[in-house]
Structure 1
Amino acid sequence: MWCQKCVVKEHRKHHFHRIQKWNGTFFEKVSLKDLGLRRQLGHKFGETCLRPEPCFNDEFWVLDISGLHNLAIDFCGCGRGDQRHIVQLLRASLWPSTVTQPQSAATFRLLDFYEILAYESKVSIFEVYQTLVRLTNNTGLNLPNDRYHPFVRMVHEWLHLHMLVRAGRGHEEGGVAATKEGDLAVLCPPCPHPGINMDPDWKRTPADRWYRHAKFVSIDANFRLKRKTVSSHRVDPGLGKGWAYFVEETKYKTFLNLHQNEREPKSNCSRHDAVNLSSAKPNRGHAASGVGKIMCARHEMNLPNSVGDLQYGERYCNMDYMFYQSLNTSGKVQAYVVSYDIACQWSKKLQSRMTAMDEDFFLFKEGMTTKYLVPKFHLPAHVMACRSQYLFNYTQGVGRTDGEGIERGWNEINPLATSTREMGPGTRRDIIDAHFGDHNWRKTTSLGKIIQERMFVAGLDMAEHVIDFNHLNATLPQVKVQEWTKEIEEWEMDSKKPNPFAELADGPTQATIRRELAEAETDDILAGKDFALDDNVSPAKLIATGIDLEAEQRSVKVEASKVWDHSRDRQMSKLQFNINTLHRKIDGWTKHQQLYCPGTERLRTNSINESNRLVPLQPYDFPLWLPSQIQEQLPVSDRLRRIEFRLREGQAHDSLNELRRQLQVRFQLISFKDKNSRGQGSNAQARNMIEKVQRRIDNAVATYKAAFAALVSLSMLLQEHGWKEKLKELRPGDVRAISQGDVGESEGGRTLSWIWKTDSVPVSALNGEDDGAYQMQQTKVEWSKVRARAKRFTEEVDLIANEMMRTVRYFASMALKWKNRGSFKGSSNSNEPLFEASLAYAEKTSAMFQALGSRCIEEWKDLPAHINRMEQIIANPDIALPGEFDKSSASKARAKAQRREARRQPSMEEIDE
């Protein structure tokens, strides 16, 4: 309780405190301005201005974290300070709303707070402003003057200024005016940037190691980031002119106008929406239907000049221009891996389209290596021919890249859609640019931990898969190994050669059926007969994901059966991680299931209660209640039953094909062990290989039995019986190799298991006339896949090792660059205080980059020893310690958990192709 005079005196430095005055009955709010406090600008605290100039109408509003404040501001007019009002405000840490006669300002701390809050939560400017208003007065009475539009302008300027400052434009010749396209983008440190972070002799890299200095880029479009027809480029051109991530608008629109009448060629692959709807107009009242983007595929960082608005759908001309600009701005290397969900169609005439744009475009020059691939999750929606030609797993030099990073990146930016769609074109581009820049910066500061975990995991996987491959190689005739190696290398050079990974299949595969269901849904959508009850989960996706969850339950249950009370902590932690992940997936799936099958939650609860368990039911025992399990307990749509029937039929054929192949591989391994393995070490290695194959056999058997049981249940309800001609009940005696008889059968009376009596098995093999050719063909397919896994993980270790070196070089290069910038005086040459501040900022930024590099070196110091250890074990597997290949190590479990969290269950959230 202070008197009015003391309140004013004590608050000469605290202008944003809330004051309440006792009116005789209760406390009521009162402003410091009403109590007589005036703030003098342009002078040190305590100095008296000889000629104070009150602000216009003596009305000045300041936005602060604590709310909106009506202050009495006096500018200096006596000449001892800077006469410009905006300079006086800036020196008081107040950002003016205009450059002439400002009537409002925001505190630096509010703008800093909003910037980080928006980056983390994607909260809109309007929501923050409304929060400030309610902090000021939450009754709706005596509301402060509206300062929303000035606040939008101040935030816009603040974000743009920070991008300029952090890019060092104030420390470069020509300053802001000399900024070029892409200059404000935060580069990806591990990616190759010539002249910044690459070895001087990088062009002399051996031809078979081309991937070490390759750039991996992903292409995709996002149709959530729409923009309504608000304002125009003339009224709101924006502050950046292609300086960061968006392409320069004027040149972009000029290019599109030249191609506005073009139509994409008809697809000879699946009917992808990206192609079919490329000419579809945006919703009425929208100027942009979404955005397209090019992104680093390995580190999920946005590339300079890689983003542009889409006027219609995902047209080639839009994506071509962004691809061209991003590659030109990002620095040219000699090898590129391009990931795009329609790469099979988009890449066909890319060279002619690019050369028409720029006949000297470097991508197609002699000596360049470019590979076009389809992201792993999207590939099953393509026709069979694409699944081998555009597959990451079988492509040389790509390591363990999945190409789906750009899809995960959209999850972070999509919450901005609701606020940016109402903005003018320039403001929207600048705001999204700022958010993309923050995404890149957060990735940059966390690279040490990310790469550390990737390398640790890749080293373990490399050792495991290379040892598996070496063991399998040792069981095969070396003549065959050399023959198969030559075939696979020829196929890698020319995909038109016979595919060594191709399997003989009988009946429809699950992937084929999923593609057909997706195409049927597309037909329904175009015909206006869409039966989906959720925008993200269609009926086919619901059932397909449920079947996948059922398979994951079996896998986790097998893993749980191997854990006991005295298991290692690492093994138990891995199991718990997998159980938790499974639990979250089931929870998410059952929420969508309730839309299509109401009442399943009650069935699930009743079955759990009836079990009378003394311990809680584990997620791998949760009843999922798919249509085949519900039968007639609840009314279920025949549409859902038929979808599951088709998917189960494909699942049965897939598991049967896998079972046959693994049985032949097991037979080959056992035969080799009996003939050649001598000694404890050799026999132990052989037994380990046989045990791994046996686990795959057991899994295939369990999967087939689950599919068969579902088919039996559904066929009675749907009156489907044709499937029984090829699929039968699988008994223990049926699970044997093609040349093995049943128990008790002699060679003369040996019978053939029904699993081999299918169209995919040649008659000569059934009659024993092919001299093991079919068995060898099955073994060849498995050998090719094991080899591919070993190669990809070996490449992954090599790729990460080069990324580590480039990251350290990048930070060192940036530290030196900022160190040199400290000596640049620019326009502040005659202003010593400004030069001192400029020098301090440059030194601080240089020290920051140096510290980031030092932290990476510290976090990676144990990785060389780890990789050396893995290489020693590959050379001599007998020296491996118990548990050394336990993939449940803390680092691997944490890395997998983080990757799963980053994906946010893409199988449930991504829209069907």
Structure 2
Amino acid sequence: MPKGFIRHEGRGGAPSLCSHCQRQDRVYRCEDCFSIELHCLECIVKLHISLPFHRIKQWNGSFFMRIPLKSLGLRIQLGHPASQSCIRPVPASTSDDFVVVNINGVHEVSLDFCGCETAQSRMKQLLRARLYPATVRDPRTAATFQVLQQFHILSFESKTSAYEFYSALARLSDNTGTQKPRDRYDEFVRMIREWRNLKLLKRSGRTHDPAGLDETKAGQCAVLCPACPQPGKNLHVDFLKAPPTQSWIYTLFVGIDANFRLKRRNVSADSVDPSLNGGSAYFVEENAFKSYLLLRMGDTQEKSTCSGHTAVNLVNSKKSHGLAATGVGTVDCARHNTKLPTAVGDLQKGEKYTNMDYLFFSAVQHFPSLTRVFALYDIACQWSKHLWERMETLPPSLRFEHGNDRVDFAVPKFHLPAHKETCQLNYSFNFIPWVGRTDGEAPERGWANINPVASSTKEMGPGSRRDTLDDFFGDWNWKKTTGLHDALLTKLKEAVMQRHHQCIALQELEAALPLGRVSQWTAEVEAWEADRERANPFQRKREVVTQAKIRLELAKEEAKLLQEGDDISLDSEVSPSVLISTGLDLEDQQRRLSAEISSLPSDATDEQRLKVQTRINVLQRKIESWTSYQMLYMPLLARQRASELSKLDPLQEARPHLFNLLLPSQCPPSFSARRLKEYEWKLRFAQTMDALEDIRQNLRLRSYLLKFKKTNIRGQVANTRAQNTLNTVKDRLDANVRKYRTARAALMSLSPALEKTGWDSIIRELLDDDIRSLTVGLDGQTEGRRMLSWIWQTLGVTKDQDEDLQDALRVEWCKVRARSHRWTEEVILLLEEMRRVKQFFDWKVQWWREQSAYGSRQATLFAELKASCEKKWNNVPGLVRMKGQEAVITPPVCI
């Protein structure tokens, strides 16, 4: 152990006389002062007149022992300079057991209130000494401004509860349990709640309003998002005159979501524990909200017609026993992750439309002059259906005109794969125009910040909980505000780069397409963008190629040849196409049998072995029958078959799963049966499509099972069963992968002889990294940079006239075009948001300058924030031009 560490337990060789007065023995040392010198009684008291809450230790001849300044004679005199603390002017009253909570612990002090003729009230005397009283009448407890500020910030960053923080302070006072300080936890909780409210009012400028706090309007204390369109604050006065092709940059994007972790137990009541904020920040005003919910209590919520959304279908089955609130709903700024004013409210049972409707319209009421609002909700496809009918049941103050498509709807990108295909096409932010790269998942990011406080707010009364959450939401908004200069610049850098890549990708694809085809497809997309009730161009018009479809087509083709007298069938029951399709079926059975044999345990029972042997015998008979027909159509294989049979041991058990079927793709190049090769080509192509679809289905099933297992499965038995199910799905997935790879290898073998080209851009090589779910990226890829595996995308062949491939190519072109447009829009939106941020800070500077001295300080702060933005964004024009001007849409001119 370092000697310097243990040295502090003793006097450290210090001289005996006081280092300050050099007259008396020094036996006292302060634990909180930087100096480690020892002082006498008189000097230690004088040195701490302005530091009355420091911890003092006394040398007792053997070691240093804790001793309070109070016992050394130090008294705190209020209403006079600290230098007069020991002079004791006329006291109004004396308290020798006053408790002060400070950053060094919980201390009892001797405190004198001033009794002079000009003395203020005891509460004011404490406040002017930067001591916050626990009560306004006869206060006996106070907390220093410093400790309240420290806990305030610490609670935001570490989510420390008041109980944990106070317990730590008590241990700083006494960590032995022998001299515990007086319990002032309840008083501390009350003080910190009042502190939060007063800080909220102060920072929103309400303390400077001549009309008083009672005139505070709904949401007036919320921290506004500087980058969102705020009429009168960061938009040009004539922004409403912008033409439709330019006005989209003034869209307000809001994200709607619910959080079921922020519960509240059914303790206390609003009459006992009312909110101090009263709807002035993020929570809606409780009385009006509850009155509306009570009025609509009997409303029946329609069932979802999309994928089974628990938010819709299970609203009445949420566990609510013993809970006053099962969670909260919220409306956020969807592009900058900030909470909107009066946009948060409690949920009682599930995510009911009545609750979410009220919160949505309560939030949007603060933007009355905006002409376009985009609402993103994970159940937007259901929630939006009868929204305007339900709006008529809301209080008149929350209603607004919704004509001219003022409000549009979409589903956040992460939640979209859980919806039906029609919703994925019609509510996707990837396809809808004029939205940039907004993803709509802002509320989810906010929950990650607030969820750690759920355990402490769960036990609070209704008012305390709302005020506390309001404070956390305000801090979240403020951190987003102060970080905008970096956040927007980072987004712009990525947007410029992605715009460059995506525009080039579009140009390259269109260069390989016939001009007329691009013009036709462009007209279809633009018509849908203008009216999304039209046919969606991102949806395939033709059916997906399947083996069943190809077999039907081949059967029709053979029937036509038979009618024309050009039939090449050598058997009345088995035609050439039947021969090849049956061969592919046998190949599938071989794969399944091989997998079953390899999975057979070494200690398998007789019943298990009998089951496998029966399948071996059945497959053996099928192959023998099939090969007899194969010799009719492929007689040149007779010699090769005879050679293979001669090498087999007649005593060896039959192994039909290893039998070489010798389909046309497996034959040597000299084999010239072109029609059989054509049949196999078509069937193999369809087989790859079937295999890809099966792979996608099993990946979706595996994702669902994994999520269900994580959420609902508990216990060893249930987990074992769930894992067995997952193993079964994995076996199917592996079989589908082998099927795809075998079919693709056959296509590779057949393509030279059949002169097939370009097909391998859609039937691509399937690597292990490609086999992943929709929501899974490669290792190291974050969600924002995650790329879909190609198996979830379809790219047709530009020169092939096959209608199925061309339909797939059309859809892929639409997606490439959409990506190019969205990134271009994102650059335009970010530039507009940067402009808005600077104008908002200018407005804030002017607004605060009209206030008091505190207003001047705030005005300087916002001026510094604007200067920081200008410094960070100094090279933005050059950055936007760095990759060229590859805009494929006309950027609006910000008026």
Instruction: Report the more deviating stretch, 330-339 or 461-470.
Output: 330-339
- Counterpart residue type for residue 456 of structure 1: K
Residue 531 in 1 paired to residue 685 in 2?
no
2-structure distance, mates of 1:515, 1:326: 36
- Counterpart residue type for residue 370 of structure 2: V
1-structure distance, mates of 2:441, 2:248: 19
Change (3 A) 1:475 1:164: same
1:9 Cα offset (Å): 2.3
Change (3 A) 1:174 1:654: farther
Alignment-derived partner of residue 16 in structure 1:
53
Alignment-derived partner of residue 793 in structure 1:
823
1:872 Cα offset (Å): 3.9
- Counterpart residue type for residue 701 of structure 1: L
Alignment-derived partner of residue 546 in structure 1:
none
Alignment-derived partner of residue 75 in structure 1:
113
Alignment-derived partner of residue 497 in structure 1:
534
Alignment-derived partner of residue 405 in structure 1:
442
SS at match of 1:701: coil
Alignment of 1:2-81 (within 5 A): 2-47=39-84, 48-56=87-95, 58-81=96-119
Change (3 A) 1:266 1:736: closer
- Counterpart residue type for residue 873 of structure 2: W
Tell whether the 8 Å contact from 1:54 to 1:75 is kept in structure 2 after alignment. Answer: yes
Alignment-derived partner of residue 503 in structure 2:
466
Alignment-derived partner of residue 832 in structure 2:
802
Alignment-derived partner of residue 331 in structure 2:
294
SS at match of 2:767: helix
- Counterpart residue type for residue 51 of structure 1: V
Alignment-derived partner of residue 862 in structure 1:
875
2-structure distance, mates of 1:257, 1:652: 59
Relative contact order, CA 8 A, sep 6+: which one is greater? 1
Alignment-derived partner of residue 776 in structure 1:
806
- Counterpart residue type for residue 851 of structure 1: E
2-structure distance, mates of 1:654, 1:320: 48
2-structure distance, mates of 1:874, 1:467: 10
Alignment-derived partner of residue 850 in structure 1:
863
Residue 382 in 1 paired to residue 419 in 2?
yes
1:499 Cα offset (Å): 2.6
Alignment-derived partner of residue 402 in structure 2:
365
**Percent same amino acid among aligned pairs?**
40
1:265 Cα offset (Å): 0.3
SS at match of 2:831: helix
Deviation per residue, 1:293-323 (Å, 9 max, x gap)? 1001100000000111111111110111111
2-structure distance, mates of 1:368, 1:496: 13
Alignment of 1:893-904 (within 5 A): none
2-structure distance, mates of 1:660, 1:499: 36
Instruction: Report the more deviating stretch, 472-481 or 496-505.
Output: 496-505
1:367 Cα offset (Å): 3.1
1:706 Cα offset (Å): 6.2
1:394 Cα offset (Å): 0.7
Q: Which has the larger radius of gyration?
A: 2
Deviation per residue, 1:727-750 (Å, 9 max, x gap)? xxx9xxxx999899xxxxxxxxxx
2-structure distance, mates of 1:785, 1:27: 76
Change (3 A) 1:330 1:65: farther
Change (3 A) 1:654 1:809: farther
2-structure distance, mates of 1:522, 1:868: 45
1:23 Cα offset (Å): 3.5
Query: How big is the alpha-carbon RMSD for the aligned residues of Structure 1 and Structure 2?
Result: 3.4
2-structure distance, mates of 1:657, 1:486: 37
Q: 1:449 aligns with which of 471, 486, 510?
A: 486
1:198 Cα offset (Å): 0.6
Change (3 A) 1:655 1:250: farther
TM-score normalized by the length of structure 1: 0.69
Change (3 A) 1:98 1:472: same
1:51 Cα offset (Å): 1.8
Tell whether the 8 Å contact from 1:656 to 1:704 is kept in structure 2 after alignment. Answer: no
Change (3 A) 1:102 1:339: same
2-structure distance, mates of 1:92, 1:142: 28
Residue 816 in 1 paired to residue 846 in 2?
yes
SS at match of 1:356: coil
Tell whether the 8 Å contact from 1:659 to 1:700 is kept in structure 2 after alignment. Answer: no
1:705 Cα offset (Å): 8.8
1:12 Cα offset (Å): 1.4
Tell whether the 8 Å contact from 1:381 to 1:514 is kept in structure 2 after alignment. Answer: no
Residue 107 in 1 paired to residue 144 in 2?
yes
Deviation per residue, 1:242-288 (Å, 9 max, x gap)? 01000000001000001112221011111111112212254422111
TM-score normalized by the length of structure 2: 0.70
Alignment-derived partner of residue 638 in structure 1:
724
2-structure distance, mates of 1:312, 1:791: 41
- Counterpart residue type for residue 807 of structure 1: V
Residue 308 in 1 paired to residue 345 in 2?
yes
1:154 Cα offset (Å): 0.7
Runs (5+) with no aligned partner, structure 2: 1-26, 28-38, 547-689, 748-755, 773-790, 889-895
- Counterpart residue type for residue 531 of structure 1: I
1:805 Cα offset (Å): 1.0
SS at match of 2:82: coil
Change (3 A) 1:3 1:737: closer
2-structure distance, mates of 1:407, 1:790: 27
Change (3 A) 1:518 1:738: closer
1:379 Cα offset (Å): 1.0
Alignment-derived partner of residue 306 in structure 2:
269
1:81 Cα offset (Å): 3.0
Aligned length: 674
1:840 Cα offset (Å): 2.1
Residue 334 in 1 paired to residue 371 in 2?
yes
SS at match of 2:255: strand
Change (3 A) 1:261 1:450: same
Change (3 A) 1:700 1:86: farther
1:485 Cα offset (Å): 0.8
1:448 Cα offset (Å): 0.3
Deviation per residue, 1:470-508 (Å, 9 max, x gap)? 222222222111110111122223444333222454544
Tell whether the 8 Å contact from 1:399 to 1:792 is kept in structure 2 after alignment. Answer: yes
Alignment-derived partner of residue 701 in structure 1:
766
Alignment-derived partner of residue 90 in structure 1:
127
Change (3 A) 1:128 1:360: closer
1-structure distance, mates of 2:206, 2:191: 20
SS at match of 1:371: strand
Deviation per residue, 1:10-39 (Å, 9 max, x gap)? 221111121122344433211111111111
Change (3 A) 1:263 1:200: same
- Counterpart residue type for residue 218 of structure 1: G
2-structure distance, mates of 1:239, 1:475: 66
Change (3 A) 1:378 1:849: same
1:511 Cα offset (Å): 6.1
- Counterpart residue type for residue 879 of structure 2: H
Change (3 A) 1:371 1:642: farther
SS at match of 2:454: helix
Instruction: Report the more deviating stretch, 42-51 or 357-366.
Output: 357-366
